[in-house]
């Protein structure tokens, strides 16, 4: 009579041990896992474990302690709805240590896999950006200074100009020619064509 409960216990243990491989990691990786990156692999593993645990497989929950399960839940927010949202204050510390352990074991050293070609382009773009900003600043200063000069030269700014501005041409502070963007002139109609000028 005593052997019956023992037999029952033994059979239940044997049955549950047969269930384990379903939730455990497969010994031979399926084809889609081969050759993929480490990060992808870990993510897929996590998903498999979470799915197995969510399906109510008690052996999966036995395999993973509650703490690690909650950590995986946090890592994959898509699967949040699959697990009961128990937020226990006392477990947070354990979750954190579990998280740190997993992080240290699987996180590769910090590095960016940029090719030299991309790195060179990035440096050139950053330099061009700073030069462009400086050029815009210079253009603003120049335009403002020129407007100031023009407004002090003419008594009636709306009078159309018949000839090029003598002052600008004669007292040209810059050797290469001082020209103003025609759009800045607004209502002034002149017979000259002015082009924008920027210092780079």
Token code pair at residue 4 = 């019956």
Q: Residue 84 CB, nearest distance to other proteins (Å)?
A: 20
| Beta carbon of residue 10, minimum distance to other proteins (angstroms, whole number) | 44
Shortest spacing between CB 21 and other proteins, in angstroms: 31
What is the smallest separation between the CB atom of 119 and other proteins, expressed in angstroms?
6
Among 38, 37, 105, smallest CA distance to 71 is for 105
Location of structure tokens 């023009």: 150
The minimum distance between CB 15 and other proteins, in angstroms, equals: 39
Q: Give yes or no for a contact between 23 and 63, defined as CB atoms under 8 angstroms apart.
A: yes
Closest alpha carbon to 146 in 112, 120, 185, 113: 185
Bin 139: left if φ > 0, else alpha if -120 < ψ < 50, else beta.
Answer: alpha
Q: Pick between residue 141 and residue 174 the one whose CB is nearest to other proteins.
A: 141
Closest separation between CB of residue 166 and other proteins, Å? 21
Instruction: Compare residues 13 and 123 and give the one whose CB is closer to other proteins.
Output: 123
Q: Cβ closer to other proteins: 62 or 148?
A: 148
Look-up of token digits 């007292």: 171
State which residue, 17 or 130, has the beta carbon closest to other proteins: 130
Q: Which residues contact 179 (CB under 8 A, 6 or more apart)?
A: 194, 195, 196, 197
Q: Which is nearer to other proteins, 23 or 67 (CB)?
A: 67
38 vs 96 by CB, closer to other proteins: 96
Q: Tell the residue number behind the tokens 């593993």, with chain if given.
A: 45
**What residue ranges bind other proteins (CB under 8 A)?**
74, 96, 99, 103, 109-117, 119-120, 122-123, 125-127, 129-130, 133, 137, 140-141, 144-145, 147-148, 151-152
Residue 102: CA atoms inside 13 Å, Cβ hemisphere, count?
18
- End-to-end CA distance of the chain: give it in Å, rounded: 99
């Amino acid at each position: 009579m005593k052997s019956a409960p023992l037999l029952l216990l033994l059979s239940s243990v044997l049955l549950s041990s047969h269930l384990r491989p379903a939730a455990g990691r497969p010994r031979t990786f399926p084809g889609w896992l081969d050759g993929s990156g480490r990060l992808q692999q870990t993510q897929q593993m996590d998903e498999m474990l979470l799915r197995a645990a969510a399906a109510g497989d008690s052996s999966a929950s036995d395999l993973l302690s509650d703490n690690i399960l909650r950590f995986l839940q946090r890592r994959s927010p898509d699967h949040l709805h699959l697990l009961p949202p128990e937020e226990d204050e006392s477990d947070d510390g354990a979750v954190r240590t579990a998280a740190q352990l997993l992080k240290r074991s699987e996180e590769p050293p910090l590095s960016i896999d940029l090719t030299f070609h991309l790195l060179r382009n990035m440096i050139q773009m950053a330099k061009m950006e700073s030069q462009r900003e400086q050029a815009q600043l210079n253009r603003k200063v120049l335009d403002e200074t020129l407007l100031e000069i023009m407004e002090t030269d003419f008594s009636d700014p709306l009078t159309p100009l018949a000839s090029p501005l003598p002052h600008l041409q004669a007292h040209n502070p810059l050797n290469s020619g001082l020209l103003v963007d025609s759009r800045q002139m607004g209502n002034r109609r002149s017979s000259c064509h002015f082009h924008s000028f920027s210092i780079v």
